[in-house]
Amino acid sequence: MDVKASDGVAHPSEHDPDERGHFGRYGGRFVPEALIAALDELSVFYQKARADPDFLDELDRLQRDYTGRPSPLTDVPKLGEHAGGARILLKREDLNHTGSHKINNVLGQALLTKRMGKKRVIAETGAGQHGVATATACALLGLECVVYMGEVDTERQALNVARMRLLGATVIPVKTGSRTLKDAINEALRDWVTNVDETHYLLGTVAGPHPFPAMVRDFHRVIGMEARAQVLERVGRLPDAVAACVGGGSNAIGIFHAFIDDPGVRLVGFEPGGDGVETGRHGATLSEGSPGALHGAMSYLLQDEDGQTAESHSISAGLDYPGVGPEHALLKDLGRAEYTPVTDAEAMEAFALLCRTEGIIPAIESAHAIAGALRLGRELGPDAVILVNLSGRGDKDVDTAARWFGMIEGESAAEASGTAIAESDLSRGPTQDEPSPAGADTGAVQR
Amino acid sequence: MSAVEDLFAGTRAEGRAALVGYLPAGYPSVDGSVELLSAMVEGGCDLLEIGVPYSDPVMDGPTIQAAADTALRAGFRLRDVFTVVERVAAAGGRAMVMTYYNPVLRYGVDAFARDFASAGGLGLITPDLIPDEADEWLAASDAHGLDRTFLVAPSSSEERIESTARASRGFLYATSTMGVTGARDAVASAAPELVERCRRHTALAIGVGLGVRSAAQAAEVASFADGVIVGSAFVTAAERAGARGVRDLAAELAAGARGGATVGA
Ligand SMILES: Cc1ncc(COP(=O)(O)O)c(C=O)c1O
């Protein structure tokens, strides 16, 4: 495979926004004037760096020797048996150093930070994966690192808080608003406005003001470029569908992008359905939201009648966000990608299934994509080839999952907050396997 | 000349700076905010900057965030801002509204401009909307005869100061420091320089905000700017001593804005 990690950066996409960062009516810059100079500076440095062989070589070297790219493609036939017999291929971003796709973007931006001569990096994080990746790159490159994280998330992703601190980062729990990712971004933006001269805001997803959505995407395009070549080599044809979870949208855009001009390939993003969209407790921004401006860009968002941002809900901290990147908003409006919710219960069922059938513990975020692939397989049938972005690994989620499944000592499944893995569920073969209605809690004890 | 330009022409003619006082609508309740804003006018605020409480106020520090939160929790609805403007205007106050862009977008930019103008509002101050993205608002403000204040910052380039001033009408808002709202002990040294840079590009009145809380600071700002903008300090005064608190603070700051004749503080 001759894909280089820097290819997505070196070769401009055919689907770039206009020069002011607009993807159709979305994107742009809805930020205080005080940040415009820093955003302009970032755009200039990024454009220079992507044409500079030294920058590209350095990124390639780190992505190979430090991240461990290219990430493998794994056939998961036993999981496929639960997906109508479809062939499922996992793009293993979970095997990257630090445990998720987030490192791709972080290394790129950290190298840019050095070039801009800035010494301090701030970041927001939800699941903690972006925070851990940022803390890691800052340790490697000798940068000061401050990570904002909603207080709710510091509790449910405590392992990652400890990891960041071990790596030398300062983690600041954010106690305002819903105390999750949205509020962590607010605090990071306030810090940036105040300290912009010496600070780079290393944004962790394809949202925010221009140039972040396009630049972060470019750093992640390697995922789809590698996967496209790997699937062609392995299967001899393109996949029928590509599945990814969508929080802010970085892992999804990273894998989708290489297939945008392949009209036969369905691109499907799975959003956090929380307790079910009908309950109002979810984070399915594209499926259920409407256009508006949040965190620096025009895109879809969850909002009330007055334009106040609604609180999102998801078992997955990394998807628990009422906004989404602007390029996804455009892909949705164009009908080039589809977005659909997966409930907490459905994601956790897929989580358990991947653990037991293939020996892979996914991040709960990525479990939403697995659940989506199960649905797609049942819909498309046994001849289908489905590529899934396994965006991260589940070490950080072990506590949440153990509680959900009632595996904590002294807590019975009934007392536990979630569903139990019923034995019948585990022994259930493909022949017994009924297509699962969207959001249904098949075979598991209802909460 | 627009309504706000007229106001600044008046204060300039008197050889003083205008005092611009900020308070969120609906804080601590809709009626309560009308009372507070009216007291601010009585105390000497020349212009009111009525804030629209918003869930994600990224330009605001803790004081104003908390006040906006209080208003939202008390049930503030966007349409209440028109009620507040109408009642304050009826009591003789001159009112602009400071709002993040999304509530306006959601209401409909033209509809918001229309309803705001008919309530007697003079214009909008838009902290997260730059002229580059403001086509709809530029058209709506023209159509409904509203002023529009965009912000410039110490980090703004000459070109951006020029284009931002050109898009503004009423007055131009110079943020004195890099940062969010919140009272500070000292007026940043960047402020006079920024105002001077602005003057090279525009004849518009220039208001300076972010951090002012005392008569001495108001006098200092008045020595180089046309408007002294005060926010967090009014919120704190309202918290501590209600209408009397904001009236007294307005009187003190107004004295400062008059050139510091009575500044002993
Ligand atoms: C493993 C993993 N996948 C997905 C996400 C969601 O982010 P995005 O939608 O930007 O890929 C996160 C965010 O924390 C994550 O940690």
A351, A380, A396 — which closes off a domain? A396
**C-alpha torsion angle, residues A212, A217, A220, A224 (rounded to 10):** 180
Ligand 1 centre to CA of B145 (Å) is: 46
Nearest chain A alpha carbon to B54? A308
The reply to whether A225 falls in a domain is yes
Of the two residues B261 and B180, the one the predictor is more confident about is B180
Residue B55 in contact with partner chain A when CB distance is under 8 A: yes
**Quick check: A306 and B151 CB within 8 A?**
no
Which residues of A belong to the active site? 102, 124, 391
Please indicate whether, in this complex, the C-beta atoms of A193 and B180 are within 8 angstroms of each other.
yes
Q: What is the pLDDT of residues A243-277, one digit of tens each?
A: 999 999 999 999 999 999 999 999 999 999 999 99
pLDDT at B52 over 60: yes
Say how many Å lie between the first and final Cα of chain A, rounded: 46
Q: Any idea which of A412-426, B36-50, B231-245, B249-263 has the lowest mean pLDDT?
A: A412-426
Shortest distance between the Cα of B56 and any Cα of chain A, in A, equals 7
Lookup: tokens for A292: 């508006």
Which phi-psi region, left, alpha or beta, contains residue A39 (left: φ > 0; alpha: ψ -120 to 50)?
alpha
Whether B55 is covered by a domain: the verdict is yes
A189 vs B contacts (CB less than 8 Å):
58
- B158 touches A at CB < 8 Å: no
Asked if B74 reaches chain A (Cβ–Cβ under 8 Å), the answer is no
Nearest CA to ligand 1 atom 4: A365
Last residue of a domain, one of A213, A241, A273: A213
Identify the residue with better confidence: B167 or B213. B167
Domain annotation covers residue B180: no
Report the residue count for chain A. Answer: 447
Q: What is the pLDDT of residue B70?
A: 96
pLDDT tier at A190, thresholds 50, 70, 90: very high
Q: For ligand 1, atom 5, which residue shows the shortest CA distance?
A: A318
For residue A304, the CA-to-ligand 1 centroid distance in Å is 25
pLDDT at A421 over 80: no
Judge if A46 and A92 occupy the same domain: no
CA distance A21 to chain B (A): 11
- In degrees rounded to 5, what are phi and psi of residue A423? -55, -40
Burial class (CB in 10 A: 0-12, 13-18, 19+), A425: middle
Residue A406 counted as domain residue:
no
Looking at ligand 1, which atom is closest to the CA of residue A127?
A: 14
* Cβ pairs A/B, distance under 8 A: 110
User: Annotated active-site positions of B, please?
Assistant: 49, 60
State whether A249 and A129 are in the same domain.
Answer: no
Does the residue B221 lie in any domain? no
Whether the predicted pLDDT of B72 surpasses 90: yes
Burial of residue A84 (number of CB atoms within 10 Å: 0-12, 13-18, 19+):
buried
Note whether B175 contacts A34, CB cutoff 8 Å: yes
B248 CB-side CA count, 13 A: 9
Question: What is the CATH classification number for the domain harbouring A326?
Answer: 3.40.50.1100
The percentage of chain A sitting over the pLDDT mark of 90, rounded to a whole number, equals 89
Same domain, residue pair A56 and A186: yes
Q: Give chain B positions within 8 Å (CB) of A292.
A: 102, 105-106
Q: Are residues A141 and A230 in the same domain?
A: no
Query: Quick one: which H or E segment has residue A293?
Result: strand A290-294
> Is the beta carbon of A301 within 6 A of some atom in ligand 1?
no
pLDDT at B260: 53
A91 with A117, same domain: the answer is no
The domain total for chain B is 1
Same-domain status, A95 and A105? no
Mean pLDDT value across chain B: 94
Chain A residue with the nearest C-alpha to that of B131: A33
Pocket test for ligand 1, best of A251, A286, A389 (most atoms within 8 A of CB): A251
Q: Specify whether A298 is located in the same domain as A351.
A: yes
> Between helices A212-235 and A36-50, what is the axis angle to 10°?
40
- CA-nearest of A320, A326, A270, A279 to A300 is A326
- Report chain A residues whose CB lies below 8 A from the CB of B153: 32-34, 37
Does residue A339 lie within any of the structural domains? yes
Is residue A357 a contact partner of residue A77, using CB atoms and an 8 Å limit? no
Residue A447 lies in a domain: no
A115 CA to centre of ligand 1 in angstroms: 27
Q: Do B178 and A182 touch (CB under 8 A)?
A: no
Residue A435 has pLDDT above 80, yes or no: no
CB distance A254 to ligand 1 below 6 Å: no
Instruction: List the domain range (segments joined by +) for residue B128.
Output: 3-150+226-257
B216 membership: H or E segment, kind and range: helix B215-222
Find, in chain A, the residue whose alpha carbon is nearest to that of B104.
A307
Mean pLDDT of chain A: 92
Average pLDDT over residues B240-263: 87
Listed residue (B35, B14, B16) closest to B254, CA to CA:
B16
B69 to chain A: closest CA residue: A177
Our answer on whether the CB atom of A132 is closer than 6 Å to any ligand 1 atom is: no
For residues A308-336, average pLDDT:
97
pLDDT at B147 over 50: yes
In a domain? residue B70: yes
Task: Return the minimum-mean-pLDDT range out of A242-246, A260-264, A428-432, B28-32.
Answer: A428-432
**Domain identity same for A201 and A339:** no
Contact A293 B153 (CB under 8 A): no
Mean pLDDT score, A2-16: 96
What's the structural domain count of chain A?
Answer: 2
| Sign of the four-CA dihedral A267, A272, A276, A277 | negative
- Give the mean pLDDT of A38-50: 98
**Does B72 contact A at CB distance below 8 Å?**
yes
- Tell whether B217 is covered by a domain: no
- Encode pLDDT of A77-87 as tens digits: 999 999 999 99
Single out the residue in A178, A213, A248 at which a domain terminates: A213
A100 lines ligand 1 (CB under 6 A): yes
Residues in chain A closer than 8 A to B57 (CB atoms): 186
Note the pLDDT of residue A52.
Answer: 98
Burial of B29 (0-12, 13-18, 19+ CB in 10 A): middle
Is A434 within the bounds of a domain? no
Residue B265 has pLDDT above 80, yes or no: no
Q: pLDDT grade, residue B263 (50/70/90)?
A: very low
Question: Lowest-pLDDT range, A126-135, A432-441, B101-110?
Answer: A432-441
Domain of A372, in residue numbers = 73-99+221-396
In a domain, B25, yes or no: yes
**pLDDT value of residue B178:** 73
What is the radius of gyration, based on Cα positions, of chain A? 20
Residue percentage of chain A with pLDDT more than 70: 91
Q: What percentage of chain B exceeds 70 in pLDDT?
A: 95
Q: Min CA distance, B251 vs chain A (Å)? A: 30
Please compute the mean of the pLDDT values over residues A271-300 and round it to a whole number.
98
Same domain, yes or no, for A390 and A282? Answer: yes
Whether residue A446 is predicted with pLDDT greater than 50 in this model: the reply is: no
Tokens of A315: 């078992």
Say if B67 falls within a structural domain: yes
Average pLDDT over residues A138-163: 96
Does residue A148 lie within any of the structural domains?
Answer: yes
Q: Are strands A120-125 and A199-201 parallel, antiparallel or unpaired?
A: parallel
pLDDT-derived band of residue B259, with 50, 70 and 90 as boundaries? Answer: confident
> What per-residue confidence (pLDDT) applies to A427?
41
Q: In the predicted model, what is the mean pLDDT of residues B19-39?
A: 98
Question: Residues A249, A346: one domain?
Answer: yes
Answer whether residue B51 shows pLDDT above 90.
yes
Structure tokens at A420: 């139990």
Same domain membership, residue A46 and residue A125:
yes
Mean pLDDT, residues A32-60:
97
Residue B188 has pLDDT above 50, yes or no: yes
B35 domain-assigned: yes
Shared domain for A325 and A301, answered yes or no, is yes
CATH number at B232 reads 3.20.20.70
**Burial of A410 (C-beta count, 10 Å sphere; 0-12/13-18/19+):** exposed
